[in-house]
Amino acid sequence: MPPVISELTLNVHPLRAELHEELHSRPSPLVETPCAISHIAVQIGPEERAAEQAYLGELCARYDASPPPEGASCFYQTFGGFELRWERHTEFSTYTFIHRVLGDPLRQAGALAQVPRDWLAKMPGQVTTALHLAFGCAEGCLDSGELERYFEKQPLRGGVVRQGTASLYSSFRLHSDGFGRIVLQARDLTPLQAGRLVQRVLEVETYRVMALLALPIARQITPEVRAMERELARMTQELTHAEGETDQHALLDELSKLAARVERHRSDTTYRFAATNAYYDLVEERLRELGEEKIAGLQSVRVFIERRLAPGIRTCNAVRDRLEGLSGRISQTSELLRARVELSIQGQNRELLTSMNRRSEVQLRLQQAVEGLSVVAVSFKKKGLLGYLYEGLAWTGIPLDKKIGFAIAVPVVMLAVWKVIHGVRRRIEQA
């Protein structure tokens, strides 16, 4: 039955409902403060997607809750003392555990203390981000000693965010438990406002790490990119001296092999480098949305992240640009070398045609000489036959001077023979 809009039966696009609801997917959490939050991001491969579905289903079975539908991209559910927010992205998934606490969250156990340990240990994928966030609701700045204890005396960065209504602190380091740590302090925020703030902060950390996944790859292939650039420079120099056909073909073969290496690296890194820039754009966008203002004595979160993250992103982009430049220069050099090879082949063809023309002229002259000799030979044969004719006529009594007869007959015979041979040759040429 066709979809119905009001009282009209219209031909509706099959993706209309899905596209319409896209604006409402992955809503911000409603966060009651004070609370403890644990956030884990895992990189997931295609073969682990099915395992992820079963993994969530196992937790739901323990708490007698409905599992997420097949193919779901997000799942939000409260399990006893904690809320789980699971979201699937293109190449990673996030698990956010929220636990409401009483009192100071910096002195409380993290949200993961509420989650079954054996279930957590079976989480599919590879962890890229893992952090604890303590969200307090006291007024004013936090005690420096309390922050020093929570962050294990690591240097802090922080600022006032959300138009001065909240404070944000972090060391941006891994602590003794292997987790990063963030502290938020705000008062008089609604659960939706607090949830949006938490979502932005968690996304900054998640996307920051994902943006840097390409950096080890860029560093790894940089020496080979440098070596390929040197090889191309050497080949370009050799191109100016490669005059012989053998040298040119050998150089073209080297260029083809170098082009294959460059394109292999490009195909291996194109997606990763593109993803790096996409994640970096998201980090910058979330930092702008935080609207951070400086806290006296602390380096701001935005300044710290941009100063430390931007050089890595520039390194990735530089390697990407060098690979693209290599590909373009190899293509230009190959075209130039092919043009030289084609010109060389054309020159050889011209020489071959000239040689063939000379050979044809010689053959024509030989043919004409043979024709002349043939005329003489046939005429000589005819002369012998005429001798017999004259002797026969003399025997019959017809008076005929043999010498005069030969003198008259030879030119006529030679002309007739020449015409016959020339006519035969012309008919053969026209056939």
Question: Residue 86 pairs with which residues in a beta bridge?
Answer: 75, 95
The predicted pLDDT at position 1 comes to: 43
The predicted pLDDT at position 429 comes to: 64
φ/ψ (deg, to 5) at 340: -65, -40
Whole-number Cα distances in Å, 95 to 86, 88, 272, 317, 366: 5, 9, 23, 30, 95
Name the helix (H) or strand (E) containing 373: helix 301-395
Q: Per-block average pLDDT, block size 10, for the chain (431 residues)?
A: 60 81 79 95 90 94 92 91 94 96 87 94 96 86 82 92 91 94 92 95 96 96 94 84 70 86 92 95 95 90 93 96 92 76 66 75 65 59 59 61 62 69 68 58
The predicted pLDDT at position 422 comes to: 67
DSSP notation for 6-43: TTEE----TTHHHHHHGGGSSPPP--PSSEEEEEEEEE
Instruction: Check whether the bond before 29 is cis (ω within 30° of 0).
Output: no
The predicted pLDDT at position 249 comes to: 76
Alpha helices (H) in 44-166, listed in sequence order: 49-62, 117-121, 144-150
3-state secondary structure of 61: helix
Structure token digits, residue 67 = 């599992």
How far apart (Å, rounded) are the C-alpha atoms in residues 70 and 150?
40
Burial of 382 (C-beta count, 10 Å sphere; 0-12/13-18/19+)? middle
Handedness of CA 346, 347, 350, 352 (dihedral sign): negative
Cα R_g (the chain), whole angstroms: 46
The predicted pLDDT at position 390 comes to: 58
* Per-residue H/E/C for 209-231: HHHCCHHHHHHHHHHHHHHHHHH
CA 111 to chain centre: 40
3-state secondary structure of 68: coil
**Edge-to-edge strands of the sheet including 92-100?**
74-79, 82-88, 92-100, 35-43, 126-136, 180-186, 166-170, 157-161, 293-294
The predicted pLDDT at position 388 comes to: 58
